Amino acid sequence: MNTEKRNGFRREIGAKARRKIRAQRNPAPGIWVGLGMIGLIGWSVVIPTLLGAALGQWIDRNYAHGHAWTLALLVVGLVLGCAIAWRWVTKEDKEMRKEKETHNE
């Protein structure tokens, strides 16, 4: 084996050892963490949707107009909830990528 191959092999073994030590120090989150995040994302969509529907019903009951506000505000709440969830997921993804990059250095 020539010197370049040995050095490359040593670097590869060293990198794998560092990843293994890092994984032992920082274990991967369990299934409950993942399920909790799914629930958190779900509630961030459901709550604005239900609030929009409730506000729409209140407006329809108290102010009789020719328009049905319940469906319109339900859709507005759904869009708002999806935007909140999207922003949260994007933020978490950026933090995970940043953490991964700092560990790879």
For 69, the token pair is: 């506000």
Residue for token pair 């107009």: 65
Query: Is 80 exceeded by the pLDDT of residue 46?
Result: yes
**Does the pTM exceed 0.75?**
no
29 phi and psi angles, rounded to 5 deg: -65, 145
pLDDT band at 103 (very low <50, low <70, confident <90, very high): low
State how far the alpha carbon of 104 is from the alpha carbons of 6, 28, 64, 101, in Å.
22, 16, 62, 5
Residue 75 pLDDT: 96
Alpha helices in the chain (DSSP H): 3-25, 31-62, 69-104
Per-residue pLDDT band for 64 (boundaries 50, 70, 90) equals confident
Contact 55, 71 (CB under 8 A): no
The DSSP code sequence of 31-43 is HHHHHHHHHHHHH
From the list 78, 74, 89, 2, the residue with the least C-alpha distance to 41 is 89
Q: So what's the pLDDT on residue 56?
A: 93
* Domain locations along the chain: 29-104
